[in-house]
Amino acid sequence: MASDPIATAFSIDVRSLVDLQALCPELQIITVSAGERYDALCKSSNPTVKARPFAIITPTHEAQLATVVRYCSSATPPIPLTIRSGGHDIHGRHVLEGVALLDVSKLNNIRLSADSKAVTIGAGVKGASLLRALDLFSLTTGTGWCHDVGMVGWACGGGYGVASGPWGLGADNVVGARLITPSGIPVDTDNDPELLWAVRGAGLGNFGVISELRLRVRPRPRQLAGMITFPLQDAKTILGEGLYRMSTDGTLPPNYTGEFMIATTPEAPIMIFLWSWIADPELDADGEEESIKRGWQFLQNFKSLGTVLADTVEETTMRKFQESLKPYMTTSAYAHMNSSAISQLSPEVVDILMKNSPPLGSPSAIVCHHSHGQTEKRNGPKYRSYPVRGEHYILGVTGMWNEGSTQAFVGEQVHWANTVHEAISKTTALLESRYWSFARPEHCNSLSFFEEEGVAKLGALKRRYNPSNAFPAAFPVL
Ligand SMILES: Cc1cc2nc3c(=O)[nH]c(=O)nc-3n(C[C@H](O)[C@H](O)[C@H](O)COP(=O)(O)OP(=O)(O)OC[C@H]3O[C@@H](n4cnc5c(N)ncnc54)[C@H](O)[C@@H]3O)c2cc1C
């Protein structure tokens, strides 16, 4: 009798989940034998990620999550788990070949605190649903550019976005978390300040699954935001002479955040700024109205640094602005990303960016996130574990292509991404640490990112809460 190849490859692991299904009859466990249903659930937002878990387990509430984690960790042999929330890790670290994938996307409760200063979100909440919910209460918070990115993955790995100038990174706004450790027991950071420090930047699976995250929220401010497009040739005046000068002489307003992307049209390379000005009572002694006036004036000065090809800046809200970006956000693309952190857009870096635009007409792009370090100055270095400090930029040099692209086209995008990355890596602006969520795993090194003291503290917490390394794809690697 011919042996069934699927049963041969997976029978041991699948059988190991039979008792879990009996323990939680209503728990969704999908194995490879479910065919198309499994394939659809398995799809990664970056289709170059090909790993296939032997099962995809989708709890719908915290008690189920705890049962799954406890069951898998105490099985003989233990069943390793990867964690997937929004599924946007570009290097696919939510999945490993042959282990079980824990899909937390259905834990999507959102609760406001009684004083409206914090929101508690489930592990599966994404940026768009959080902003929509907060908007109902005239509140808001920082998120990433893309509506579909998971808030836990974003904030607990760092978290850059258009509010980072005034409000800091996502990690700066984490005020608490509840984790399910391998024993299945919930742990709250309110009982361990060091765990809170760790979760603010190194929280992606090392200490347990975050079942709930508490984020600081703010009354929805008056805000100017939109996209401004310039030809890339203006990078010299905008980045080199404008932003670089303001950063180095300390005149860059904290209300401003300008993250940008270098992309191409079929004819020419362009630079698209996600431009934002937030009026904030903590920053604006002269009040909201005057702040907005200063924002419009700053925008005029900013635009005068180059030739504006398109400008959509208007008075808006965080939610509306993120929604306006939806058509431009690639939630599924073949991608090869390299990433580094630099201290400044120095003339040397600007020169490299200008001379190495993405191949014309390709979907490839350089994504650039910016942190001014305002919030970090207020909070102090002991506040968060996220290691990239002071004013800095994160560059994500991303070769991209589509289904059916030729090998030659794919090769050109990957070569371009590697070449630009190598050139940036030789500049004096390069920082030792990087944004682990963006950087290729082979470029990540805990010791050079977190230094000896940080690694020792994080390692001790991991030994306390997750000694069995129940989530082997967790990062930073400790
Ligand atoms: C299109 C796109 C746009 C992006 N935009 C931005 C941006 O504007 N700013 C920015 O800073 N970053 C951005 N990122 C990067 C993104 O923030 C990170 O990759 C983030 O980790 C994604 O979280 P996720 O839940 O969507 O992804 P997932 O792949 O589901 O998770 C990412 C990692 O977090 C871990 N994880 C997820 N949930 C939990 C949990 N509950 N407990 C413990 N560990 C968990 C996973 O195991 C995995 O290792 C973007 C990425 C993409 C693809």
Q: Is the per-residue pLDDT at 331 higher than 70?
A: no
260 lines ligand 1 (CB under 6 A): no
Specify which residues 395 forms β-bridges with.
340, 368
Tell me the pLDDT tens digit for each residue of 121-141.
999 999 999 999 999 999 999
Q: Is the per-residue pLDDT at 383 higher than 80?
A: yes
pLDDT recorded at residue 330: 72
Residue in this structure with the two tokens 């920053």, named with its chain if needed: 283
Q: Which residues contact 73 (CB under 8 A, 6 or more apart)?
A: 79, 182, 183, 184, 468, 470
Q: Is the per-residue pLDDT at 5 higher than 90?
A: no
Tell me the pLDDT tens digit for each residue of 198-252.
999 999 999 999 999 999 999 999 999 999 999 999 999 999 889 999 998 989 9
pLDDT recorded at residue 381: 76
Give 329 Cα–ligand 1 centroid separation in angstroms. 14
How confident is the model over 50-76, as a mean pLDDT?
Answer: 96
208 lines ligand 1 (CB under 6 A): no
150 lines ligand 1 (CB under 6 A): yes
Tell me the pLDDT tens digit for each residue of 391-426.
999 999 999 999 999 999 999 999 999 999 999 999
Give 255 Cα–ligand 1 centroid separation in angstroms. 26
70 lines ligand 1 (CB under 6 A): no
- Pick from 19, 91, 13: nearest CA to 56: 13
pLDDT recorded at residue 373: 67
How far are the Cα atoms of 302, 313, 441 from residue 93, in angstroms, in the given order? 38, 36, 9
Give 321 Cα–ligand 1 centroid separation in angstroms. 20
**Cβ contact 130:110 at 8 Å:** yes
The domains of the chain, with CATH numbers, are 5-103 (3.30.43.10), 110-219 (3.30.465.10), 223-442 (3.40.462.20)
Q: Is the per-residue pLDDT at 7 higher than 60?
A: no
**Atom 35 of ligand 1, nearest CA residue:** 204
Residue in this structure with the two tokens 């700066």, named with its chain if needed: 172
Q: Which helix (H) or strand (E) holds 148?
A: none
Phi-psi region of 337 (alpha: psi -120 to 50; beta: other; left: phi over 0): beta
**Atom 4 of ligand 1, nearest CA residue:** 146
Q: Identify the band that residue 13 occupies on the pLDDT scale cut at 50, 70 and 90.
A: low
pLDDT recorded at residue 184: 97
Tokens for 341, please give them: 């952190």
437 lines ligand 1 (CB under 6 A): yes
144 lines ligand 1 (CB under 6 A): yes
Give 228 Cα–ligand 1 centroid separation in angstroms. 26
Surface-to-core class of residue 457, CB atoms within 10 Å of its CB (0-12 exposed, 13-18 middle, 19+ buried): middle
Mutation to probe ligand 1, out of 130, 149, 274, 276 (largest number of atoms < 8 A from CB):
149
Question: If you count them, how many residues does the chain have?
Answer: 478
476 lines ligand 1 (CB under 6 A): no
